[in-house]
A and B are shown apart, each in its own frame.
Chain A
Amino acid sequence: MNTASRKWVPYAFLSPYVLFYLAFGLFPIVFSFYVSLTSWDGIGGKTFVGLSNYKYLFDPDSHFFQSVGNTLLFVAVTLPVQMALGLIIATLLYSRWVQWKGFFQLINFLPYIVTPVAVGLMFNLLFDWQAGFVNKVLVELGLVDEGIYWLGEPLTARIVIVLMLIWKGFGYTMVFYLAGLANVPKDLHEAAQVDGASALRVFWSITLPLLKPVTAFIVITGIIGGFQLLEEPMLLLTGAGMGSSVAVIGGPDRCCLTTVWNMYDTAFGSTTRYGVGAAIAYGLCVIIAVFSFVGARIYKGDSE
């Protein structure tokens, strides 16, 4: 009797998770796939259209691959810089040379905690054409005659986004490298130093290889997270007037349209094409899966 009744115990403890996951996690995912096979604006009836929404993703009008390219560009440019900066700071903080470690760690981690929406708005203010701090300083120093229209030109808008993402993200890589450094055995370093290896050499030949698992983790999560980029560019380029003013979707020439932004705009913004929106979400998921898989493979092949 006792053991028979006990058999139900783990299932009882598991059930809240399972129920909530099925209802609000798995069901929307499965149902989204069905929606992606239909043409539906949410009000009228659904029409089954097969794979034509997915075909439409290859049409330049859908901006799908353009948005994937933009997002990929941002990840490819910012992630290496974030990692280099994070590693340098983590190494300095971990060395015995720096005072007030906790304080500096905290300060450099703060940008990561800020609400992403606020990050976009802050940089919108900093790089504003008229009232922006950056333009004022540049003019004051005599570097330019009049303010640069940062957010109005594709190239400069992208530069601002890259700067913003680096600013937000290097503290994140820093804490991961700090955690990794704490796991590197200290006696290895000491042995190498006794053998006369320079600090730089120790770092290059011992520390860096031992940090490989952390690096792999950062690259993979960085790609997954990077592909979900939305709020920062959106608020940077549309500002605090969201909703009422005629917002430019994706910035000048859609140069900064990210994939999730594209999905939002297609399904819930300029148009309400739920089917195409769901297809974009699935397309994004496939691309993320491919990149994670390739990343994991490269990492695995490298370590063998």
Chain B
Amino acid sequence: MSGAVRKTAATFGIAVLSLFSLIPFYIMVIMGTYRNEDLFTRIVLVPGTYLLENLKTVAASRFDLLYLNSLIVSLASTALSVFVSACAGFAFAKHEFKYKNRIFAFVLLTMMIPGQLGIVAYVIEMRQLELTGTLLPLILPWVANAFGVYWMTQYIRSAVPTEVLESARIDGCSEAGLFFRMVFPFIYPAVTTLSLLVFLWSWNNYLLPLIIVNKPELYTIPLGITSLGNAYRTDLAAQVLGLTLGTLPVLILFAVGSKSFIRGLTAGSVKG
């Protein structure tokens, strides 16, 4: 009896707190289904009927382009970052070289440096290299990712058996061959986790595009949804719908991969 009561009470408590998490999303979605005038005059709680009309308004702006730009930036950042991290991780985990521990300690130290420290000079650097008319400046900072190196080193050290590498070496396998054919198959879970993290970090990035991107054709999602107010100045409903469209798809994608994502995020916190 008391067990059942406890169960109900605990589940109910969690459910109430979860509502706190969900309400802002819910209101955002609902607001996008109403006429602009309705939003100012009454409380909207259930879905309205104006969604298609609002969708037409939003589709008239180049929302697809925002998605395309964000996808290019995030996919390229993720692929490069994962590859470069795995390479460095392989070196740290399975090779011996001079000053290895010191270099690794330095990489860990750079993890603590806030990303904004070099941003002023980075912007100047990108302008000097005349890259500001491209998406490259939004990709390059993610390639050398200290967390990625840490994560890959730990994972390769524990997941890739050294004997397998040794015997492949004796069979005359090249080091590059080892890396692609022997290491990669063992580290898919680590690749998935790191990919999700870098994808989300680069997808959510706002400050760098805000400073560097100077033409609307190159806007990414975060920049795009902040300029919705310019696109539909008087139409709040369309703005909200744009916000929903810019937020929800990725949210759903990450809900699917949240387990792997959380594993990466919490790595290292438990051991302290």
Q: A140 to B240: give the CA distance in the assembly, Å.
A: 23
Q: Which of B13, B122, B144, B226 contacts A242 (CB 8 A)?
A: B226
Q: Which of A98, A245, A267, A282 contacts B10 (CB 8 A)?
A: A98
The answer to whether B191 has its CB under 8 Å from any CB of chain A is no
Check A118–B115 contact: CB distance below 8 A: no
Check B225–A130 contact: CB distance below 8 A: no
In the assembled complex, which residues on chain B have CB atoms less than 8 Å from the CB atom of A14?
87-88, 91-92, 103
Closest Cβ neighbor of B7 among chain A residues: A97
In the assembled complex, which residues on chain B have CB atoms less than 8 Å from the CB atom of A20?
84, 140, 143-144
Closest Cβ neighbor of A231 among chain B residues: B206
From A115, A176, A244, A267, name the one whose CB has the most chain B CB atoms within 10 angstroms: A115
In the assembled complex, which residues on chain B have CB atoms less than 8 Å from the CB atom of A239?
229
Check B91–A126 contact: CB distance below 8 A: no
Q: Which of A92, A243, A285 contacts B117 (CB 8 A)?
A: A285
Q: A12 to B91: give the CA distance in the assembly, Å.
A: 9
Interfacial residues of chain A within 1-50, with CB under 8 A of chain B in the complex? 6-7, 9-14, 16-18, 20-21, 23-25, 27-32, 34-35, 42
Tell me the count of chain A residues lying within 8 A, CB to CB, of chain B. Answer: 99
* Chain B 225-256 near chain A by CB (<8 Å), digits 1 or 0: 11111100100100110010011001100110
Stretch at the interface among A54-62, A101-109, A186-194, A249-257: A101-109
The answer to whether A260 has its CB under 8 Å from any CB of chain B is yes
Minimum C-beta distance from B172 to chain A (A): 10
In the assembled complex, which residues on chain A have CB atoms less than 8 Å from the CB atom of B230?
240-241, 243-244
Known: A35-B121, A241-B229, A277-B120. A224 touches B115 (CB 8 A): no
In the assembled complex, which residues on chain B have CB atoms less than 8 Å from the CB atom of A179?
262, 266, 269-270
In the assembled complex, which residues on chain A have CB atoms less than 8 Å from the CB atom of B233?
241
Check B21–A171 contact: CB distance below 8 A: yes
From A21, A175, A214, A260, name the one whose CB has the most chain B CB atoms within 10 angstroms: A21
Check A281–B117 contact: CB distance below 8 A: yes
Check A110–B25 contact: CB distance below 8 A: yes
Partner-B contacts on A (CB < 8 A): 6-7, 9-14, 16-18, 20-21, 23-25, 27-32, 34-35, 42, 85, 89, 92-93, 95, 97-100, 104, 106-111, 113-118, 121-123, 125-126, 130-131, 133, 136-137, 140, 167, 171-172, 175-176, 179-180, 183, 212-214, 216-218, 224, 227-228, 230-231, 235, 239-245, 260, 263-264, 267-268, 274, 277-278, 281-282, 284-285, 288, 292
Partner-A contacts on B (CB < 8 A): 6-7, 9-11, 13-15, 17-18, 20-22, 24-25, 27-28, 31, 39-40, 42-43, 83-85, 87-88, 90-92, 95-97, 100, 103, 110, 112-125, 127, 140-141, 143-144, 149, 175, 179, 200, 203-204, 206-207, 210-211, 221-222, 225-230, 233, 236, 239-240, 243, 246-247, 250-251, 254-255, 258, 262, 265-266, 268-272
22 contacts between A and B (CB under 8 A): A9-B91, A14-B91, A18-B144, A24-B125, A25-B141, A27-B121, A97-B6, A109-B258, A115-B225, A116-B206, A118-B222, A125-B236, A136-B43, A140-B43, A183-B270, A218-B269, A224-B114, A240-B226, A263-B119, A274-B124, A278-B120, A285-B117
